[in-house]
Amino acid sequence: MAQPQRIWLQRESPAKPEPGAPCNGCGVCCAAAPCPLSHLLLLHRHGPCPALQWQAAEARYGCGLLLAPRHYLRWLPAAAEPLFHRLARRYLAIGHGCDAYVEAQPEHAAEPRDD
């Protein structure tokens, strides 16, 4: 039996929504595995997506390829950024609900010790 995968997320991040529910920026899907866009454009194959960005002000994660595409894709002309944004959102099905069929459980804090 395979060991469960352990991912590390900000404590303040929202809990993973049920599949089909609106994305809430929990970051579980991107921390568990890179998406097809990360595979294609960042050549990232395993582990957390390097474009996963914590947004402290909103207490949620976001996709760096959408938030700051030219930071990750230095070859992308500024004029092409709006088109890239539209195509990337469509390719990733942003706004169509959670499609991460993984079970996410927070790690429980250690029991208090009696010293």
**Domain positions in the chain:** 28-91
- pLDDT of residue 113 exceeding 60, the answer is no
Render pLDDT for 41-88 as a digit per residue (tens, 0 to 9): 999 888 899 999 999 999 999 999 999 999 999 999 999 999 999 999
pLDDT-based confidence at residue 114 (cuts at 50, 70, 90): low
Determine the 3-state secondary structure of 55 from DSSP. Answer: strand
- pLDDT of residue 35 exceeding 70, the answer is yes
The 3 state secondary structure assigned to 62-80 is EEHHHHCHHHHCCCCCHHH
Q: Please enumerate in sequence order all residues whose Cβ is within 8 A of that of 33, keeping only pairs 6 or more positions apart, or say none.
A: 46, 47, 49
Of 51, 3, 57, whose CA–CA distance to 27 is shortest? 51
